[in-house]
Chain A
Amino acid sequence: MVAGTGKLRKLRLKAPARPEDLAALRIGDVVHLDGVIYTGREGVYRRAVEEGVPLPLDLAAVSNVNFHCSPAAAREPDGSYRIGAVTATASFRFAKWMERWFALSGARVIVGKGGMSGEDYRRLFRPAGAVYLTTVGYGTGALLGRGVKRVRSVHWLEELGIAQALWVLEVENFGPLLVDGDLEGNSLFERENAKLQARLREVYDGLREPALKRYGETTDRGDEVV
């Protein structure tokens, strides 16, 4: 059955997002975005946060939605850009820059892949009034590509290259995305991980450990590898 997918709340969120709209989001909500978003990942974070290079535009005036993505963009003869498929990159690697990035950019929505830890949400996101939305699948590249209506501008293209540049995108019905981290610091992935724990004891029940161990190996199946 499409068991109970009707129970998930489906919402449209305007970007840039208003605080009251973010406060209404709960983990597990399905969100589609309309408006303006921008890409930014380690290249932008290093340059802006670590090297202190001033941002190439007044980002806070443009949008507060930061997408962890490298678009597959091809330049057209008229100088515009064509975007085919769009897929997020795993966000857990970027947590270390978030606190200063929130202060610097005014970002309040992070869109990416796989979320960050619940601790990151409570320690970094909640104080900044920020939420985390994850792409689904993974690999709804064609649907997300359809949602990108236009490349408004691209910044730091020469300095960082196509994959790492800061792309400002106009989007419509951009999704689906799932709320993984809400303003209270809840994590959807961690809630689901917790449900799994009881099952794991049963699944491993009676299976002997292998003869040869490995360095660095965890035997706690409650652990994550990220």
Chain B
Amino acid sequence: MTIPADRIRETARELMARAAIDIPEDYLAGVRAMIAREKGELSAFVLEAMLENWQAASADRRPMCADTGLPRYYVKIGNEARIEGGMVALEEALRRATAEATREIPLRPNRVHPLARTDHDNNVGIFTPEIDYSFEPGADWIDVTTVHKGGLFGTDWRMLFPGDGRDGIRRFYLDTLIAFGRRGLACQPVIVGIGLGGSKDACMVLGKQAACLRVVGDRHPDPEVAALEEELTALGNRIGMGAMGFSGSSMVVDCHVEVAYTHTGGMPMSVHCFCLSSRRATARIHADGSVVFRTDPAWFTPYMRRETVAWSPAPESSASSA
């Protein structure tokens, strides 16, 4: 069956509201666990205030934060899915939903032309909202995820070299967290996403996706990468920096690393901080038009992380996701 473009538009509008207003449960549970460990009184106070803020947002149906970030989309398309009007209709539906949600919720119309600083007042413009795509073999649904991530602080990129090794990774990770953690510019505690390898642009894209599209507690299927994720999470919380840069331990709720094959001479690395509002929401639109909402984007699948030329799923891995 064909998925109607209008269903995509309605769903995307609802996703915009959920992302802006309701804190994802995995992140909330992660912050609650951090408060229980936090010895710094100022940092603990800030986190308690955030808990109160999230309750107020959900109760009042107000955005958690008035800076509603840069709304954008991630779309996973089943290989058997058919969309009414095709991909052009899907993109128009997502742009319409963005403009409508900006007025209705309201979201802050943050998007402006970079030079003229002019504004359409609806978060739509040149290359905006961004839409990233991925595909899933054997599926006839589409998954639409929206992310509202802040745009100013907490992200950096660097070309490291194989000789820089694990020390280079640790050092650049610390540099980014400390530079942006002071005064709380990173809006920590954050979910940190790290892109390691790939081409330079892929490195940035993967790191951002690792921060925004994987849930707290998720581990990479490669045990070596998973061990690095756990090591870096612990390292971030040993800096001595808590919420707003006050003394404490609440810096990193979780750290996710995505790796991609890279140039033999290099080891590019990106670091991304997904803030105290960690705004994301996902919906699966089935071929029959039914919609199921969730907060786990389940973006990184075995198919996406495949290493081989052809894709031949092992029976047990085809059903699992990130």
Contact = CB atoms under 8 A, between A and B. Distances in A.
Contact of A204 (B60, B67, B159, B171): B171
A225 interface: yes
Interface string A182-212: 0000001100110110011001101111111
A200 B235 CA distance: 12
B41 A3 contact: yes
B37 to A, nearest CB: 8
A2 B246 contact: no
A138 B62 CA distance: 16
Nearest to B104: A74
A10 B52 CA distance: 16
A226 interface: yes
B245 A178 contact: no
Contact of B45 (A5, A84, A142, A211): A5
Interface in B173-187: 174-175, 178-180, 182-185, 187
B49 A207 contact: no
A141 B42 contact: no
B171 A207 contact: yes
A145 B57 CA distance: 9
B44 A142 contact: no
B228 interface: no
A61 interface: no
Interface in A137-171: 137-146
Given A84-B106, A204-B171, A28 B42 contact: yes
Nearest to A176: B49
Interface residues of A, number: 57
A224 interface: yes
A136 interface: yes
Contacts of A209: 171
A140 B35 CA distance: 17
A143 B182 contact: no
A84 B65 CA distance: 10
Interface of A: 1-5, 7-8, 28, 30, 69-72, 74, 84-87, 90, 114-115, 134, 136-146, 176, 178, 188-189, 192-193, 195-196, 199-200, 203-204, 206-212, 214, 221, 224-226
26 contacts: A1-B39, A3-B39, A7-B41, A8-B42, A71-B66, A72-B63, A72-B106, A84-B106, A85-B62, A136-B243, A139-B277, A140-B50, A141-B53, A142-B54, A143-B49, A146-B60, A146-B62, A192-B42, A192-B246, A203-B239, A208-B164, A211-B160, A211-B164, A221-B175, A225-B179, A225-B180
The 8 A-B pairs at the shortest CB distance, nearest first, are namely A139-B65, A199-B240, A87-B66, A142-B57, A85-B66, A142-B56, A141-B66, A4-B41
